[in-house]
Each structure stands twice: as structure tokens, then as C-alpha cells.
Structure 1
Amino acid sequence: MTTDPTPDDTAAQAVQVARLYYHQGLTTDAIARELGLSRPKVSRLLTLARRTGLVEIRIHDPQAQPQSLEAQLRARYPFLTPQVVSVPPGSPEGAWLDRVAVAAARHLGQILRPGQTVGLAWGTTVDAVSRALTPRPIEGLQVVQLNGSANALDFMSGFVTDTITRFAANYGARAHLFPVPTFFDDPATRAAMWRERSVRHVLELQERADVLLYSVGAASAQVPSHVYAAGYLDETDLAALRAQGVAGDIATVFFREDGSFAGLPINARSSGPDLALTRRAQHAICVASGLGKVDALRAALAGELMTTLIVDETTARSLLTAP
């Protein structure tokens, strides 16, 4: 009596076939003979390896525009690991975001390891990434929310919690939500809340996160940053930010055109983390798409507020153009 192979057995066999095909250059006929499989079975295993992310195919063309833009970004920002995503000529910004989200999801699949903690700053871009993930259980992974859970409308819509829990479910991870206001009315209220034991637990997880995933917020983006589109900031707030030379935000913590963030009054009311966290994490991944985010991106790079940038080629080209 024979038993069907388990999913783990099938995955191991797919990896074995992929190694023989891609690393050793064997044909499907040769692999079939070596492993005692049928040729169609070998083809199915290769397809499985590609579809499930066991194998990823990347084309490195030295003349290609994305690779040229990556080289220019590395030269200008030596601390940065850039990934520039090609987009169809003439395509709308929404299509750029879709492609960048897929690239970010694949990048996460490559770097995440068992036992890590992932900090997520909710928003339009990170939500798009959450919808492009490939399911992959990772033992002991924890996902922690980096900034407060949003306003009453978002509590009702589930926008924030759905993004975080989608990430956690995709990797079989434990989700740690952060049920505090996005912005406090009074900095003293925030300071008192930060002394609560349940809040301290989340803050400690944020502090030791191995991987951070976020975008930069910008009021002028064509695909609006959620914090600006969902009514968190009134006209008085926006006018004050403009007067203080604010260029954008990360996890609802604002920074100036030179990348500095200390001393901005609104940050004393924000639920987001100290942006120095982006300089300490092993992987601080900024995902950005759209020409309206160029100024905010340039400012965040001036402050070295990321280690990895995943961006579409049109936005990258504009970013490299002198302001």
C-alpha cells in the first residue's frame, strides 16, 4: 500500500528538482532519469517551485533602466539598498503601486526568518503589500503595529486591523495590535498611556523589531496617504506642518526637509515610534510609489530613515533629479 507524499515531501522534491535544473543545468529528461520520475512530474515540480516562491527568476540586464537607477541611488545614498521596479510606459500611478507592492511582498518572503519581530506602519501602501503576500508559515514570527489604530471611522471599517492581521495570518505569526489613538489631544495623555503595562509591552516589541515595513506619507500624493485622506489632520494641523518645513511622515511621525524630526510639536502627540528606530533595525524597508511622494522620500533619505527602498522606476527617476 502506497501513501501520498506530504506537502513537505513535495516541497523538498520541488527544491531538489529546481537545484538540478537551475544550478546544475540538467534537462527535464535527465532529471527524470536521475530521480526516477516521469518528465511531466518533473515539469509540475518546477512549476510548483516557481509558483510557491521556492524559486524566483530575476533578469539582470546592465542596460536596463531599473538597474541603472539602482546604481545611481546606491552612489548617492551609500547606506541604501534600493530595488527599482519597472512599470509600463504611460501607466497610471495605481498600477505602479500594484507592482511595487508585489516586489515588496517578494522581498519580505526572501528575508523573513523564524523568531523575528516585524514592525508594520499601517497605511495605503502597506495595505497593498499585505494583499500581495505569498502564504508561508514562519515559526515564531511576531507582527507588531507601529502606530496607533486610527480614528473612529477606521475602527468601524477595519482598515488598520485587517492590514495587520492579514500579514500575521499569511505567515502564521502572532499579531500585536496597538489600540491607542493615532494622535493624542494632549502630550501628557500620551505620556501617561505610555506608562501602562499593556502599552509598554507593544512599545518593547517595536523597539526590538528586526524588520520594519513602512512608506512615507505625503499630503500631495495622487494615491493619498491614509493619514491625510482619512481626516486625522485638520487644516490648522496642516498649516502648522507647512510652516514648520515638514516634508512627510513615517508611521505618523513627521520629519522636515533635511530628515530631522526632533522638536516638532505634533510628534509629541503622535502614537508613532521615535524614527531613530529606522536606523537601528536590521531591515528598515521603505516602500513608496508615486510622484507626490518624491519630496518626502528625498527628505527621508537625507535623514537616513531607511536601509532599503523599494520604489517604481518613474518615482526613482524623479527622486534622482536635482530639486
Structure 2
Amino acid sequence: MYEFNELVKISKMYYEMGMTQKEISEVSKHSRPTISRMLEAAMERGIVRVQIEYPLDSIYELEEEIKNKFHLKKVFVAPTFVEEDTLIVQDVGKALANYLTEICRPNDILGISWGTTLGVVSNYLPKRRINGLKIVQLNGGIPVNSYSNGSFGLLEKFSEAFEGQFHLLSAPTIVDSEEIANSILSDSNIKQVVDLGKKANIALFGIGRTHYESVLYKSGYFKTESYDRLISKGAVGDICSRFFDINGDLVDSELNRRTIGLQLEDLQEKEHCIAMAVGAKKVKAVYGALQGNYLNTLFVDEHLARKLLSYKEE
């Protein structure tokens, strides 16, 4: 295998000195094919890292169309450079992370839900101390099986980025009965966190699609037959673990009474009510959320934006 120092030398000659592989082969003991393989090895061993820098601007035309059609305060539409889901969600998450840093002010209360989408946002939060900022969990996040939803880690990342105090809602998101939910909500510590979520002037959440790949389903909150019933009732998506149909109406009042956390109507009063969704497959979930007026700020990708504008209820 190639020696570490030799890989560093070849990499510096190629990437920092701008020498061609032919030129490097002429001043070293290696052939051009070997130089090529060494550069690949340097990349694999982490000696060389490629970072692509580019401005991430919203597609203005789509942004304005969505904003006007659905009467929103702010819309960001990330362009799709390559057809790769991981890269697309990273671009949307990065844009949202930067926006959060712009709008958060001292003594604000930032309420966040949990899930895969917000996990991406947390990875791109720049470090910025915001005095007096409180970060509160909007819906219960304790899973009922071994599948991790990342709720606690998410709070930690937001807290570290903004150097703010975080408040964990230490409860499952859905319980077996309304009586259990009422009992949990009567606990003084739980009530304090829920009340703080209601006071939050900024709410941040993903829009979930009612599908068997959902984090809620994977976390064990539903048996297959109960999830089937939810879908048969017309559920297209959820926000903060509360399910709605294509018109934005709650689909199961009994389930809603067993859910711990912020009510959907509480979101409608927020100064900044920010949702993120990625992928054309989420068009019904996002459309239903918009019909329910559960958000005033939307971060999406180009494909989903176009689907939203052309969507017609079936």
C-alpha cells in the first residue's frame, strides 16, 4: 500500500501546486496511472477532501407563485442540481438553518418538533450565541420501541448551536387512552413545557407523510391495523404527531386526545411558523397542511414546489 507521506506529497503537488499527473510522474518515481491511483487513495483515506461551495438561492418564480397561491409570509425553493435525495434534503436543510440564524433574537422561544427532516437542519446550524433563547420540544418524543427518533439529540444540537437552554417534553407522543394523556398533562413539569411551547414565537417542524416509512410508524406508536384505519380515514400527513386530511382537518379526534404536545391550532398564532418538506411524494401532506393554515413559512425543494402548484384534489 502507498505510504502516508508519499500520498500527502503527491496530493500537494496536484491540488496545491497545480501540477498535472504527467508533470508529477516526471519528477517522481511513479507512472501516470500510479499517480491517479494514489490520488484516489488519498481521497479514500481522508487526506484530500472535496468541498463544493455554491450560493444557495431560492428559485424566485416558484417562490412567489407558492407564496401568493397559499398566502404565506416566506417561501424558499431549493433548486435541484442532481437527482439525489440525500443531496436535495441537505440543500433545503442548510437554507433553513441559515434562515433560523437570521430570525432568532434574544429572549425568543423556539419550539421544535422532531424527525429525520429537522435532524438534517441541525447538522447545518452555524454557531451563534443568542442571549436568553429558549428551545422547547413541541410534542412528546419518547419512542416505544428500539427505533430512535433522535428527539433528545436534536434538542442538544440546537442548544449547542445557539447556546440556549432547552426544555425536553419527557413523554411519549401518543398514549393508550385520553385518561392517560390527561394524567400526563396534569404533571407540573410536563405542563410547564407544553405551556412554554404554546408561548413560543417561532415553531419549527417537518411535515410527515402518512406512510409506512413514517418515523411515527417505525417508532412503534401504531399497530399495522390501526395505521391502516388512519389511512382509510383520509390521513395524508402529520405535524407534531397530529394527523390531518387533504383539507387540513383532523382525521381522528380520539387519537388527537391521546396525543401529547402542541395542538395544531396553536401553530396558527405563531409569528414564525416554519415547515420543511422534501420530495414530490409529500405533495398531499404539504397541501393538506397549507389548507389547514398550519404554517406561514415553507422550505421545500424544486420538485415538490412544482407538484404543489399543479396539484389538484382527487
TM-score (norm 2): 0.78
Separation of aligned partners in 1, 2:229 and 2:261: 19
Shift of 1:231: 2.9
Of residues 282, 290, 293, the one that matches 2:279 is 290
Deviations 1:264-304 (A, max 9, x none): 32111111311012110110000110122110000000111
Shift of 1:70: 0.8
Of residues 197, 211, 225, the one that matches 1:236 is 225
Give unpaired runs (5+ residues) of structure 1. 1-55, 61-65
Give unpaired runs (5+ residues) of structure 2. 1-53
- Residue 154 of structure 2 aligns with which residue? 163
Shift in CA distance, 204/302, structure 1 to aligned 2, threshold 3 Å: same
Separation of aligned partners in 1, 2:260 and 2:76: 29
Shift in CA distance, 254/58, structure 1 to aligned 2, threshold 3 Å: closer
Separation of aligned partners in 1, 2:238 and 2:56: 32
Secondary structure of 1:276's counterpart equals: helix
* Mean Cα deviation higher: 268-277 or 308-317: 268-277
Separation of aligned partners in 2, 1:158 and 1:190: 20
Kept after mapping to 1: 8 A contact 2:115/2:151: yes
Q: What is the 5 A alignment of 1:123-134?
A: 123-134=115-126
- Residue 70 of structure 2 aligns with which residue? 77
Shift in CA distance, 138/264, structure 1 to aligned 2, threshold 3 Å: same
Separation of aligned partners in 2, 1:241 and 1:158: 21
Indicate the structure (1 or 2) with the bigger Cα radius of gyration.
2
Q: Report the residue type matching 1:213 in the other structure.
A: L
- Residue 197 of structure 2 aligns with which residue? 206
Q: Report the residue type matching 1:88 in the other structure.
A: F
Separation of aligned partners in 2, 1:158 and 1:58: 28
Q: What is the 5 A alignment of 1:1-323?
A: 66-89=59-82, 91-153=83-145, 157=148, 159-220=150-211, 224-261=213-250, 264-323=253-312
Secondary structure of 2:276's counterpart equals: strand
Separation of aligned partners in 2, 1:216 and 1:157: 18
Secondary structure of 2:237's counterpart equals: strand
**Displacement over 6 Å in runs of 4+:** none
CA RMSD in angstroms comes to 2.0
Kept after mapping to 2: 8 A contact 1:285/1:309: yes
Deviations 1:99-134 (A, max 9, x none): 110011001011000001110100110111111100
Secondary structure of 1:194's counterpart equals: helix
Shift of 1:228: 2.9
Shift of 1:195: 1.2
Separation of aligned partners in 2, 1:165 and 1:158: 14
Q: Report the residue type matching 2:86 in the other structure.
A: G
Separation of aligned partners in 2, 1:185 and 1:146: 20
Q: Report the residue type matching 2:151 in the other structure.
A: V
Separation of aligned partners in 2, 1:272 and 1:197: 14
Separation of aligned partners in 1, 2:217 and 2:252: 21
Aligned residues: 259
TM-score (norm 1): 0.76
